[in-house]
Chains A and B, each alone.
Chain A
Amino acid sequence: GAVVSQHPSRVICKSGTSVKIECRSLDFQATTMFWYRQFPKQSLMLMATSNEGSKATYEQGVEKDKFLINHASLTLSTLTVTSAHPEDSSFYICSATPGGGPSSTTQYFGPGTRLTVL
């Protein structure tokens, strides 16, 4: 099956620093990638949808200047949490889809990145 990797798997940082998370599709080209956030005992919440070569589409309530998304190639999307604060501590998960129409809507999930901001 299709494989999506994320790096790092876990990061601990100080308040005020920026953290970059990478999401890679290893064996397919991902036209679209999604970024989710999951707080303890809550559902995955979609933060943004990123399409290769264009600006990301952010969900309501997600600050685009705080969560910078770059999807510069068909196999890599990055999420940068700028000026991170303790309330940004969460489990960040990406997913990727080959796109190409309704038959390709399966999303393949990365293993997630656990961010802890001190």
Chain B
Amino acid sequence: RKEVEQDPGPFNVPEGATVAFNCTYSNSASQSFFWYRQDCRKEPKLLMSVYSSGNEDGRFTAQLNRASQYISLLIRDSKLSDSATYLCVLHGDSSYKLIFGSGTRLLVRP
């Protein structure tokens, strides 16, 4: 079983739509969770950290469910510029290592 699993998509949505991605992880000892964004042929960039209480950054809301071992990202009022691959990432139990999911691709159409 992969350590981090994501639906590869693509999710094809119109501008202004709300879209949600989920990610599941297998290691219950994982301590830190993140969503990264990766544009085609570019490096990943941190979008936001994910906290147990849930957190929001503008149009983006992240949630963590430790009991079910999944993380979600909600994007409201999608923009064309949101088109990218969204990577679910977590830290291992006691190291600086980042473990990446294979990403969910989002396409926002006009």
| B42 A112 Cβ-Cβ under 8 A | yes
| A49 B101 Cβ-Cβ under 8 A | no
Q: Which residue of A lies closest to B96 (CB)?
A: A105
Q: Which residue of A lies closest to B32 (CB)?
A: A105
C-alpha spacing A91/B100, complex, angstroms: 15
B interface footprint on A22-62 (CB within 8 Å = 1, 0 otherwise): 00000000001010000001111110010000000000000
Contacts of A15 in B (CB 8 A): none
Is there a chain A Cβ closer than 8 Å to B50's Cβ? no
Query: Which A residues fall within an 8 A CB radius of B?
Result: 32, 34, 41-46, 49, 91, 93, 95, 97, 99, 105-107, 109-112, 114
A sample of 27 inter-chain contacts (CB < 8 A) reads A32-B96, A34-B97, A41-B102, A42-B102, A43-B100, A43-B103, A44-B44, A44-B98, A44-B100, A45-B100, A46-B97, A46-B99, A91-B41, A93-B43, A93-B44, A95-B98, A97-B96, A99-B96, A105-B91, A107-B98, A109-B43, A109-B44, A109-B45, A111-B43, A112-B41, A112-B42, A112-B43
Also in contact, A41 and B8, with CB within 8 A (given A46-B98, A97-B96)? yes
Cβ distance B76 to chain A, nearest Cβ, rounded Å = 25
Query: Which B residues fall within an 8 A CB radius of A?
Result: 4, 8, 32, 41-46, 87, 91, 96-103
Also in contact, A49 and B42, with CB within 8 A (given A41-B8, A43-B87, A43-B103)? no
| A43 B42 Cβ-Cβ under 8 A | no
Contacts of A93 in B (CB 8 A): 43-44
Q: Which residue of B lies closest to A104 (CB)?
A: B96
Contacts of A111 in B (CB 8 A): 42-43
C-alpha spacing A46/B98, complex, angstroms: 8
Also in contact, A114 and B41, with CB within 8 A (given A32-B96, A97-B96, A105-B91)? yes
